[in-house]
Structure 1
Amino acid sequence: MEKQLKLLILLFVSSTIDSTQEKTEIIHTTSNGCIQGFRNEYAEVFWGIPYAKPPTGALRFQVPQPFKTEEGQKNEIFQAIKPGHGCIQNCVLPIGACPETISEDCLSLNIYRPKRKCDQALTVMIFIHGGGFVAGASAVPLYDASRLVHLTNVIVVSINYRLGAFGFYWNKDLPGNVGLLDQELAMKWVQRNIHSFGGNPSNVVLFGQSAGSTSISCHLQNLVINNVHKPPLFHKVIIESLPIGVPLRSIESATVANNAFASLTGCLSSNDTTLCLQSLPSDVILQAQSLAEGADLLLEADKLTAGQPWEPTLNLIAFPLIYNHANFFAQNSSRIKIPILLGTVYDEGTLFIYETQTSTINYTDLQGYIGGLWNKENIIPINQAYNINFTLGADYHDVLSQILGDNVFTCAARYVLQSLSLYNSNLYLYVYNYLPNINTTVAAYGNSSAVPECYTKVCHESELPLVFNSDFVLPYKLTLEEQHLSQLIGKAFTNFAKTGNPNCPLSVGDEKWPRFKNTTGQNILLTLPKSFIESNHRGAICDFCNTLGYDF
């Protein structure tokens, strides 16, 4: 099966660079001169458009510099017909989410627009991929938006950004958080150029999943706290599976991780650490990055950030962040007036617990994890809330998965919207709870999944094949029922992008999405055979989690 998937993706990529393929009209842009893409069955696609100069040499670890077409090349046509390189990474994601090639010269974006012409400028949706800030790319089969734009009449832009140490290492001479600055520069490119593709720069929504949603939370914080962009770079947000309960890196924690990384490269003791790091081959950086992740797993063993040193850091100058997610939303709720659609999947914690804890978790282990991750004084209250009792020989993987899913994702999402709903009426909450057919599951997790439990549970990232409804992920089609659910999700997301309301327009037979109100706590539960409205999803447990807080 894995060989079949690789062959399919290679065929998909090679077909897009066939010289006989139908080309689009030539697009004249402000930043990149002339660009030409290709047409597939559903859409016009422009792949690998550079938005920044290659961040190599002296630009490694530095603030990204805008791409500019040289004067003598402005009349040359850039052929945007093959995927740009993914950023440097060791990708362990499913094959449909990993780039075919990697390079430091990776700061590019992709544009998908409907083939049919429209008299008015189209809503623009900018997608930020997940992957724990260490893996993933934009121009991969899982995120192919051709069919989505065909069915919903929007423009989708997907972006690459620097990952791992390349995007999030910093020292006294380097700014840090440059992966976020990459994303910001891509948004600025959209503002300057998307009108040339028929897009409306005044109606832009950010959407992303996992690390992509963390990025969106950071950009929203930058917008609200620092008020740096006028007009704003985006106007609405769709946030999928935001790990609200996982804190951003403190300067103290990040400094330890950064020093460990620099030491592993041999550059920490150099007279000029930055110059030394900038002169190393990228594969040396990548190897040291992986070793630093292992060291961090030991140093931060009792924290939710363990083994994840390459995340945004608080209180840096270049991209200033002062709040963790939950505190940002709670303490600034009166200032956050932007429409927000927020959602989780039903079994958010399963992937993380089964992926990292491969041996049996007994009762004693469980108590240690609870005390380590959520403080020792909370062991007894958590045991009582989840009705945890000692059973000889029992495995507590599922119990720990549920606790993690509630405290990091599900209940934390409800808490955020409860805070915001006092001042913001444009809030929507979904819970995705559909266990797809095996072919769709392979699209999300791969054929030889390290977490077979995700074939029987609705795990983190399981909604993605249905969000994009891509024909290019697998040699299989979605079932008719899955097509219906996929189109319902796609229509709701794009309606929200266009109007701030997932119901506008609403088709006959579709379940109406309720606005989130603190009084009812209603969400839509996305499932088959039919989605429905819930009140107060996991209410009693979430009330308890609120008493613990979400800032550990």
Structure 2
Amino acid sequence: MKHLSFYTSTVVLAAIPLTAVFAHPTWIVGQTVRTTSGPVDGHAASVASGVSEYLGIPYAQPPVGGLRFQPPVRYKGTRKLNGKDFGLACYPSNITGYDADFPKELVEQYGITDVGLKIIESILNPGLPVGEDCLTLNIWTKPQTGTKRKAVMVYVHGGSFVSGSSAERVYNGQFFADQEDVVFITINYRLSIFGFPGSPDLTQNLGLLDQRLALEWVRDNIASFGGDPSRITLVGESAGSASVDHHTFAWANDPIVSGVILMSGTARGIAPRTPEAGAASWYNTTSLLGCGDATSITSPEDLLRCMQAVPAASIIKTLVSTLNSPTSSPYSPTIDNQLVFADPSTRRAAKVAMLVGNTDNEMALMRVLTANDPGDALVHELSQVTFVCPAAARAARSAREGNPTWRYRWHGVFPNTQLATRPGPSGAYHYSEVPVVFGNVDQSLVKNTRAEERVSGFVRGAWAAFARDPVKGLLRYGGEGGWPRYVEHERTLARIGWENRTGLNLEVGNRYDQGCTEEGST
């Protein structure tokens, strides 16, 4: 794949001594780095050969045996880690609901393209090796060039809290590190019942605690990779974005990060489970596995020991199909009023900069997974309720509290990101911007257009500009006048990829907020 470096951050100034330009002028690509997890070897990234890539670094002890369904425990090691391979993906639930090929009737009904089928397959069935020993992270860095202490970006993947992995090709961070003078990191966290068990007798929201421990690892170790621990931005998309928003409330006093980027997801929009729903999911599984339930005489301690002894594969077989579930999120963050709150609007949030937005046709992806077409009106309403209105409310609150705040809407639609030919399920759907932002759009069927390369470089540069300076970075980005901070009734909403053009296309902040209330609902 050819990647154009439109917004490279490499500095070449002959008049300045090398010691002032380079953070580590003697850095060797892939050199061994000492961490709290042990020394780790790296290697050159697959395309950007000047980038050092470190894969599969454990940040927590394997959550197996007596650590299953327990909060993560920090990993400390002394043996050398080879850093060559991604770690296992965390165990998913059954997200697809399909046992064979994607249904032909849906292909015909929606005009799903070959590109669209490949995209759906990559989302629903990535084909990665999975296991419980999955709490690892990956780092891409280029310390031999650019600033001495680079801004750091930590990415939390999406997947409805039941699927996804930092090993997915789309999340490879080499182009961020190569072109934008940042250190880029992706993380794994426990999914499904392993990350969000729902038991009333256990610590809730283990997946969020995993993310937090990974962030603490980054804070403690990233300077050794050329990163600046005082300039960490937490980024997420979909469930990952909702996770990032949960962090702003759960750790308001100690967020670690200086900025957050919320891509299509908020703590309120992707609503958490009630304690009752979490408990019902938990006891459904424990009962099926013969470990007891809420009405049995088995003690909570005995029930837990039973569940810790059951093979993981047996647990997976009991989990409900996410698409066929009567509830939208059968395994997800659960309200515990410690990390996850019933009404985040009543909670104090971290004082950090925020970049928040969503795609132009969010629910189109969900639409093609549904045999009974819900129709344009309902799809629009669901997009507003789940994504647009909560993003509007979150941006308004952040700005009102004096945090540097920016808001965007993604409009880019390219030949190799097009999902379907029918107008309803096509357009800029949920997740469609992610491969473009990373510069990792699949090229096997259709190559990138030049316009796509330009937009890809532009949006990647914008995200990195925010990370490098969360207060002023975007004010100087995007051409004359820059990108202004968000004001609801002023032209401050950036339409990115508008008509597949590079640059900012500014619109009135609440241009797309039809039916939204201040609380983020319709």
TM-score (norm 2): 0.81
Aligned-pair CA distance for 1:453? 6.7
Q: Does 2:437 match 1:467?
A: yes
- 1:36 to 1:474, Cα distance in 2 relative to 1, 3 A: farther
Aligned to 2:378: 400
- 1:99 to 1:161, Cα distance in 2 relative to 1, 3 A: farther
Aligned-pair CA distance for 1:289? 1.6
Deviates more, 1:145-154 or 1:267-276: 267-276
Aligned-pair CA distance for 1:480? 1.2
Q: Superposition RMSD on alpha carbons, in Å? A: 2.7
Count of matched residue positions in the alignment of Structure 1 and Structure 2: 456
Q: Does 2:269 match 1:245?
A: yes
Kept after mapping to 1: 8 A contact 2:138/2:187: yes
Aligned-pair CA distance for 1:470? 2.3
Kept after mapping to 1: 8 A contact 2:475/2:483: no
Kept after mapping to 1: 8 A contact 2:354/2:403: no
> Which residue identity lines up with residue 75 of structure 2 in the other structure?
F
Aligned to 2:492: 522
Aligned to 1:190: 218
Aligned to 2:30: 24
- 1:523 to 1:36, Cα distance in 2 relative to 1, 3 A: same
Picking from 315, 320, 341, the partner of 1:322 is 341
Picking from 256, 277, 282, the partner of 1:233 is 256
> Which residue identity lines up with residue 247 of structure 1 in the other structure?
A
Q: How does 1:19-168 map to 2 (within 5 A)?
A: 24-29=30-35, 31-40=36-45, 41-42=47-48, 43-69=51-77, 74=78, 76-89=79-92, 90=94, 92=96, 94=120, 96=122, 98=126, 100-114=128-142, 116-118=144-146, 120-168=148-196
Structure 2 CA distance for aligned equivalents of residues 478 and 151 of structure 1 = 18
Picking from 355, 364, 367, the partner of 1:350 is 364
Point out the structure with the larger helix share: 1
Kept after mapping to 2: 8 A contact 1:418/1:518: yes
Aligned to 1:533: 506
Aligned to 1:481: 451
Structure 2 CA distance for aligned equivalents of residues 471 and 81 of structure 1 = 23
Kept after mapping to 2: 8 A contact 1:353/1:400: no
Aligned to 1:379: none
Aligned-pair CA distance for 1:294? 7.5
Aligned-pair CA distance for 1:100? 2.1
- 1:136 to 1:91, Cα distance in 2 relative to 1, 3 A: farther
SS at structure 1 position matched to 2:89: coil
- 1:23 to 1:85, Cα distance in 2 relative to 1, 3 A: farther
> Which residue identity lines up with residue 529 of structure 1 in the other structure?
R
Find runs of 4+ consecutive structure 1 residues off by over 3 angstroms. 90-97, 115-119, 330-333, 451-455, 471-477, 504-507, 536-539, 549-552
Q: Does 2:404 match 1:422?
A: no
Deviates more, 1:85-94 or 1:456-465: 85-94
SS at structure 1 position matched to 2:287: helix
1:352-395 CA-partner distances (Å, limit 9, x unpaired): 2442x31244xxxxxxxxxxxxxxxxxxxxxxxxxxxxxxxxxx
1:16-65 CA-partner distances (Å, limit 9, x unpaired): xxxxxx96111112x12211011023121100000111111111110111
Structure 1 CA distance for aligned equivalents of residues 373 and 216 of structure 2 = 49
> Which residue identity lines up with residue 501 of structure 2 in the other structure?
P
Aligned-pair CA distance for 1:310? 1.0
Aligned to 2:116: none
SS at structure 1 position matched to 2:292: coil
- 1:188 to 1:35, Cα distance in 2 relative to 1, 3 A: same
> Which residue identity lines up with residue 488 of structure 1 in the other structure?
F
1:198-250 CA-partner distances (Å, limit 9, x unpaired): 111111000010000111011111122xx2x3xx4211000000154342111
Q: Does 2:346 match 1:331?
A: yes
SS at structure 2 position matched to 1:404: helix
Kept after mapping to 1: 8 A contact 2:364/2:425: no
Structure 2 CA distance for aligned equivalents of residues 455 and 290 of structure 1 = 26
Aligned-pair CA distance for 1:475? 6.9
Aligned-pair CA distance for 1:349? 2.0
- 1:101 to 1:470, Cα distance in 2 relative to 1, 3 A: same
Aligned to 2:22: none
Kept after mapping to 2: 8 A contact 1:496/1:504: no
Structure 1 CA distance for aligned equivalents of residues 398 and 32 of structure 2 = 44
Kept after mapping to 2: 8 A contact 1:142/1:473: no
Structure 2 CA distance for aligned equivalents of residues 57 and 452 of structure 1 = 49
> Which residue identity lines up with residue 212 of structure 2 in the other structure?
E
Aligned-pair CA distance for 1:320? 2.9
Picking from 493, 496, 503, the partner of 2:474 is 503
Q: Does 2:285 match 1:264?
A: no
Kept after mapping to 2: 8 A contact 1:247/1:551: no
Kept after mapping to 2: 8 A contact 1:99/1:140: no
Aligned to 2:483: 513
- 1:205 to 1:181, Cα distance in 2 relative to 1, 3 A: same
Kept after mapping to 2: 8 A contact 1:440/1:478: no
TM-score (norm 1): 0.77
Structure 1 CA distance for aligned equivalents of residues 237 and 328 of structure 2 = 20
- 1:254 to 1:550, Cα distance in 2 relative to 1, 3 A: farther
Aligned to 2:462: 492
- 1:125 to 1:312, Cα distance in 2 relative to 1, 3 A: same
Kept after mapping to 1: 8 A contact 2:200/2:279: no
Picking from 192, 196, 199, the partner of 1:171 is 199
Structure 1 CA distance for aligned equivalents of residues 290 and 58 of structure 2 = 32
- 1:478 to 1:455, Cα distance in 2 relative to 1, 3 A: farther
SS at structure 2 position matched to 1:35: coil
Structure 2 CA distance for aligned equivalents of residues 452 and 281 of structure 1 = 44
Structure 2 CA distance for aligned equivalents of residues 204 and 85 of structure 1 = 25
Aligned-pair CA distance for 1:336? 4.5
